[in-house]
Amino acid sequence: MYSHLNLDEIDVTKEAPALEPQRQYYFIARLRQMTEQQSRREGRKLTSCIRTFGCQMNARDSEKLRGILELAGYENTDSEEADFVLYNTCTVRENANQKVYGHLGYLSGLKKKNPHKVIALCGCMMQEPEVVEKIKKSYRFVNLVFGTHNIYKFAELLVTALESERMVVDLWKDTDKIVEDLPAQRTYPFKSGVNIMFGCNNFCSYCIVPYVRGRERSRRPEDIIAEIEGLVRDGVVEIMLLGQNVNSYGKNLDEPITFAELLRRVERIEGLERIRFMTSHPKDLSDELIEVMKHSQKICRHLHLPLQSGSTRILKQMNRRYTKEQYLALAQRLRQEIPDLSLTTDIIVGFPGETEEDFQETLDVVRKVRYDSAFTFIYSRRTGTPAAVMEDQVPEDVVKERFQRLLLLVQEISQEMSKRVEGQTLPVLVESVNEQDGSLVTGRLSNNLLVHFPGTKDLIGKILPVYLKECKGFYYLGEAADLQ
């Protein structure tokens, strides 16, 4: 494992090993040698900055990239004036792409001031050929471009880029490879994401993810368990199992296992207190999973169950493979079996062909399920997806008006639902000192709601009972139970 890795023992004068992850350790050692030399020339430590756009998957990928940079001798900073800047991009909606182009303009200015600055781009947006063409043409100051499938090769790619005068571009269409045992630098000492699978096979007709993240690949349960055990030894009490569609975990392994069975095994890890997971596809959510959740002491009372649309007709167009009635039945079963479960969702407004009647069906589901919270999105046309060429794209003003109505309803219900636990005393994992008021700390309930209460920074990472005094809409003000 990398935790026993001693970079000094690696002979960088030899050729790089062919095997992974040893090959990457070799390049990390080379990278370290290069940064040390430059540090000596400049008389200071080199700095690096990673900007992450998009989802939890990207956040976890960034922790891995940061782990490599740290071992290579870079000091992590939040400032884009750093010697090395990396954008880990998202492309799920067009505005995510626009953000990256906007930031690149700013970086170009910084690079003019510091020609030694190294700039790299990776992540989902780079898996789109038109994007890479545009970068090659209009953003020639970028040093390195890589994608989602070869992220494990980051150290090797960065060495190549540092030795090259030209932009290094390495993009793979797909991969069946999973490289284990690479380093990671966690953002929080007490909680961590853990990838259990990569890619997606669902091809929802609006979604670009299957094209940029490739086919579903599950990690072996032994590797996942070993990683979590290592994290727990390192002080982690909460983990978030990550996959685009965790409910189809394990289907393609040599020895197939279900997601519910994986959860049972993870639950047995001593010292681990909380288990979360993201994201569930309603079509694959099994009774076995509901059973496991219901009886679990560690699985958090939160399920994110994307609806996307409440209209069976639109769901069919979206290739979601469930109907409004099936979704409602599932939500009802969940509410019945696990009454304190918080249900959250994703909804898209303005999918091609969506009529007012279809939209009313969505509002109807929202009223019936009563989500604890919901992410609402305006449909964004992604080139290459089937929906992008569908007729009847909905006019912008109609979509915006529907979006506002949905938002109002979602917020109204969410406020009512959040109030459900007012007056109770529940365990809270303390995450940080409150940003606005330093006399408070901020933590999360099992159902994912935020709680602010008087406390000091030594509580960070601890789980303690908190009296939920007052619901303030989407969060709570509380008091540590033993202070009452």
Shortest distance in whole angstroms from residue 208 CB to ligand SF4: 8
Shortest distance in whole angstroms from residue 204 CB to ligand SF4: 3
DSSP 154-222: HHHHHHHHHH-SS-EEE--S-------------SSSSEEEEE-EE------TT--HHHHH-S-EEPPHH
Task: Label the pairing between strands 274-278 and 238-242.
Answer: parallel
Residue in this structure with the two tokens 């350790």, named with its chain if needed: 25
The residue ranges that bind ligand SF4 (CB under 6 A) are 200, 202-204, 207, 209-210, 244-245, 281
Residue 429 binding result from ligand SF4, ligand 5AD, none, given CB thresholds of 5 to 8 Å by partner type: none
Q: Which is nearer to ligand 5AD, 348 or 366 (CB)?
A: 348
Residue 203 binding result from ligand SF4, ligand 5AD, none, given CB thresholds of 5 to 8 Å by partner type: ligand SF4
Residue 380 binding result from ligand 5AD, ligand SF4, none, given CB thresholds of 5 to 8 Å by partner type: ligand 5AD
Which H or E run includes 69?
helix 56-71
Q: Which is nearer to ligand SF4, 77 or 319 (CB)?
A: 319
Residue 26's nearest CA partner among 48, 43, 11, 44 is 11
Listed in order, strand segments (DSSP E) in 296-424 are 302-304, 342-349, 373-378
CA 218-221-227 angle, 5° bins: 100
Shortest distance in whole angstroms from residue 405 CB to ligand SF4: 23
Residue 362 binding result from ligand 5AD, ligand SF4, none, given CB thresholds of 5 to 8 Å by partner type: none
Shortest distance in whole angstroms from residue 469 CB to ligand 5AD: 34
- Residue nearest ligand 5AD, CB atom distance: 346
Asked whether 126 and 89 are in contact (CB, 8 A), the reply is yes
Q: Which is nearer to ligand 5AD, 35 or 244 (CB)?
A: 244
Shortest distance in whole angstroms from residue 259 CB to ligand SF4: 14
The residue ranges that bind ligand 5AD (CB under 6 A) are 92-93, 206-207, 306, 308, 346, 348, 377, 379-380, 382
Q: Is the dihedral of CA 182, 186, 187, 191 positive or negative?
A: positive
Residue 382 binding result from ligand 5AD, ligand SF4, none, given CB thresholds of 5 to 8 Å by partner type: ligand 5AD
Shortest distance in whole angstroms from residue 393 CB to ligand 5AD: 12
Residue 106 binding result from ligand 5AD, ligand SF4, none, given CB thresholds of 5 to 8 Å by partner type: none
Write the CB contacts of 451 (distance below 8 Å, at least 6 apart in sequence): 428, 442, 443, 444, 445, 466, 468, 475, 476, 477, 478
Shortest distance in whole angstroms from residue 349 CB to ligand 5AD: 9
For 396, left (φ over 0), alpha (ψ -120 to 50), or beta?
A: alpha
